[in-house]
Structure 1
């Protein structure tokens, strides 16, 4: 079991360790950097990373992508030669994916299938890329159907060298327990119905396949760890619970590493590390069989500080992601499940069963699509009717606007007439005041005349008595 890189208290690591399962002893590999090679024309710097994937290929370990202290836009593929103990950087061709961590990398034949993850800007991804390991050429896949939502920390496995299964993972706000299947021949996504005891939502879990059974261990939802180890029969898509733990134990951690190996002729699952409030360096062994002879032992030798693991390239494996690391003393613990028998297909069912289920799912989706298409036509007709009504309303609105403009013109004329009348009224008021003034002046003049006559009246009588002729008589 190989452990490379990881993270401890925010510090990225680049050390490489190997666990001998027979002696239960850790050893640190003093790796060298290859200065020049066919793949690497110049010296390289092996940057410490976490969230990468470690894949065995021929006599090499391939470290795929991962987060680093200084984010890079380059999607890196590093190779460790197990024979000569050197690191080198593989030069690839075509358009590579953006750099990321928390993705899934699945070995399918001579290709690596990369899905999802999170880039250096913390943007979640759901893109799909394939790297041909023989030509080292990238190919971005535009699959049909509805893909999984953007996520990281999910698990992936391949069934019958044709179907890529994606389970769980998380976004910034939630974790998932959905299952998606990609047909690698038709490049079509589907979301089949899950059977059995469906696991709780989780991210940061790890998974390995043994035959047609896909074991899922650990994970969590950033609040608590997933306590149940579950298995999916990839032919029937039925879940079963293998075992369950209690409390904050390493098996209920996020970011642990998981591999499948062989000991004394039987398959075993080996988990290492993880984070559940503190960093773990414990190794746990699961035997889904009553034929168990391995005893719990204290590990000897220095413990690695990372949790990204992969077993020897001669054994089947899956991609394993590094997230956390520990530095404390660890132990190997064994869990033996007596008489465990995961749900199997009946009547010798093979991958044809899952193909039939996928076809049924496809027919159901096509039926839903036809219904949606019919609904779309109805909505288009309703939209056309609404547009016709809108046209009539627009014409009516234009007519009302014309009437309103006419009324506004009349109103303006009336305002002009009112202004003229107000001006005339003001003129009349001025004339009225002048008339009243003249009338008062006239009345005053008349009063003065009357008073003058009254004063002249007595003088005339005395003049007559005196024998003088009145002036008015002379005038006459």
Structure 2
């Protein structure tokens, strides 16, 4: 997955920070911003860099962040491929950083190493009754099952919580969403880089894990997605990535019926992304950052979960943290104003900066008294709660029917255009994968032909060696025959020599034939 691959190692660039008396100034991309604190931000729906005192944390991404009692706690993350295990605290009142030296609270009847808090990235931090729960995450030595750890800011200690039931497998890049008194874990990347789309629910009262069977079509396996809870009943899943592509799809799970659906939505069409961050505020779900195979995403989006309408809150240029992959996003209220705060991330370089956005959005009354989505509702229908449809019915009593038909046609046309755009994107990805497969096929065919040529050469060489061996064998046979013949001749020669020696003994002092013959004549 292009968006969630390990970033290219680059040395972080330190930004120049100048602190003057009673006034803090920060130089961000040659633009000076002067402020005296978060409350001094005047503009709504615009990201503003904060000048923070104290020793800043090491730049990082894929960390966790949670707000407890006017402070933002940051734990873990990744920097240049190294997992971090420190706890950094940003005090919103003084706008100052500090580092905590946490201790380990041993668990009775368990070895000490069982509660060690290993440096990690891709984990989830969840505030829970002035404490912070940490779930899952990638570590250098992963465990077999998902472990739930708890950090107590009052005592500055870590402890491992005992859970019951069948724990989910170890993973990172998952989503952990609180729905009522439960935590819902979805997806992530497990051992061997396997992508997951399983669903697990932890009951915080009994600390018992349950794996529920769902109906409908769940999201495809993915990691680095975003999740949100609405009306303490509905779980939204948006975006994320696989090993080859990024997604822009939106999925909905009704946790009462355990049914997955693809809710219809309108407004702007979100770009595919992974590694983005999200936070909910009433009916609104804010999404920042993330990236895909082409670029980082500069827009900050908001989804009105009651009307299912996407819109753009603001957009940033450059490489500010709110446009980064793996940044964190939290919500905090100060003096009656609501702020989004973004920290860290990676967008060509690692960041340790803090940005704030004062939102003009306000929680609507509609989130308190909505009728739930029917379990057998058509997933291609519009908003989860059909406010607009009810309003249309009310206004159309005795009204102009043709106007309603035109609006319906326009809405259906927008739906078809969005589906067509999604199909085009899917077709593009399929063509890319097909081209990769064809290229690999060509390479394998060339390699196969090369191997065949080598085998033919080896076969010819083997045949030649067999012929040479056969010739040598024939020569050896001939040599053996010659050797036998030679032995016979030598035996005959030795036998003839013995006979000659015996004749000499009978005629001692013998003479030649001619002389004996001549003597006989004489």
CA contact (8 A) 1:192 1:358 kept: no
Q: C-alpha displacement at 1:352, in angstroms? A: 3.5
Q: Tell me the number of residue pairs that the alignment of Structure 1 and Structure 2 aligns.
A: 310
What TM-score comes out, normalization by structure 1 length?
0.62
**Corresponding residue for 2:377?**
359
**Corresponding residue for 1:212?**
283
- Which stretch of structure 1 is more off in the superposition, 266-275 or 70-79? 70-79
2:218 matched to 1:200? no
Q: Give matches, 1:28-43, under 5 Å.
A: 28-37=99-108, 42=112
Q: Give matches, 1:255-294, under 5 Å.
A: 255-289=326-360
Q: C-alpha displacement at 1:362, in angstroms? A: 7.3
CA contact (8 A) 2:283 2:367 kept: no
Gaps of 5+ in 1: 290-339, 365-476
Q: Deviations over 1:422-449 (max 9, x none)?
A: xxxxxxxxxxxxxxxxxxxxxxxxxxxx
**Corresponding residue for 2:175?**
104
Q: Give matches, 1:65-464, under 5 Å.
A: 65-289=136-360, 352=370, 355=373, 359-361=377-379
Sort the Cα spacing of 1:17 and 1:238 in 2 relative to 1 into closer, same or farther, 3 A.
same
Q: C-alpha displacement at 1:23, in angstroms? A: 1.4
Q: What SS does the aligned partner of 2:377 have?
A: helix
Sort the Cα spacing of 1:144 and 1:247 in 2 relative to 1 into closer, same or farther, 3 A.
same
Q: C-alpha displacement at 1:84, in angstroms? A: 1.2
Q: Deviations over 1:12-47 (max 9, x none)?
A: 111001101121100111110012359x67452111
Measured in 2, the distance between the counterparts of 1:341 and 1:238 equals 16
Q: What SS does the aligned partner of 1:121 have?
A: helix
Sort the Cα spacing of 1:76 and 1:363 in 2 relative to 1 into closer, same or farther, 3 A.
same
Measured in 2, the distance between the counterparts of 1:59 and 1:250 equals 27
CA contact (8 A) 2:196 2:221 kept: yes
CA contact (8 A) 1:190 1:358 kept: no
Q: What SS does the aligned partner of 2:159 have?
A: strand
CA contact (8 A) 2:245 2:293 kept: no
Measured in 2, the distance between the counterparts of 1:42 and 1:225 equals 42
Measured in 1, the distance between the counterparts of 2:375 and 2:209 equals 31
Measured in 1, the distance between the counterparts of 2:267 and 2:354 equals 29
CA contact (8 A) 2:263 2:381 kept: no
**Corresponding residue for 1:63?**
134
CA contact (8 A) 2:174 2:187 kept: yes
CA contact (8 A) 1:181 1:190 kept: yes
Q: What SS does the aligned partner of 1:255 have?
A: coil
Counterpart selection for 1:3 from 71, 74, 80? 74
Q: C-alpha displacement at 1:133, in angstroms? A: 1.2
Q: What SS does the aligned partner of 2:138 have?
A: coil
Sort the Cα spacing of 1:232 and 1:358 in 2 relative to 1 into closer, same or farther, 3 A.
farther
Measured in 1, the distance between the counterparts of 2:305 and 2:279 equals 12
Q: What SS does the aligned partner of 2:346 have?
A: coil
Q: C-alpha displacement at 1:260, in angstroms? A: 0.3
Q: C-alpha displacement at 1:280, in angstroms? A: 0.5
Q: C-alpha displacement at 1:222, in angstroms? A: 4.2
CA contact (8 A) 2:264 2:381 kept: no
Gaps of 5+ in 2: 1-71, 383-522
Q: C-alpha displacement at 1:361, in angstroms? A: 2.6
Q: C-alpha displacement at 1:181, in angstroms? A: 0.5
Q: Deviations over 1:210-268 (max 9, x none)?
A: 11100001111144111100000001110010000112222211000000001111111
Q: What SS does the aligned partner of 2:351 have?
A: coil
Q: Deviations over 1:256-290 (max 9, x none)?
A: 0000001111111000000011101110101123x
Higher RCO structure (Cα 8 Å, ≥6 apart): 1
Sort the Cα spacing of 1:244 and 1:356 in 2 relative to 1 into closer, same or farther, 3 A.
farther
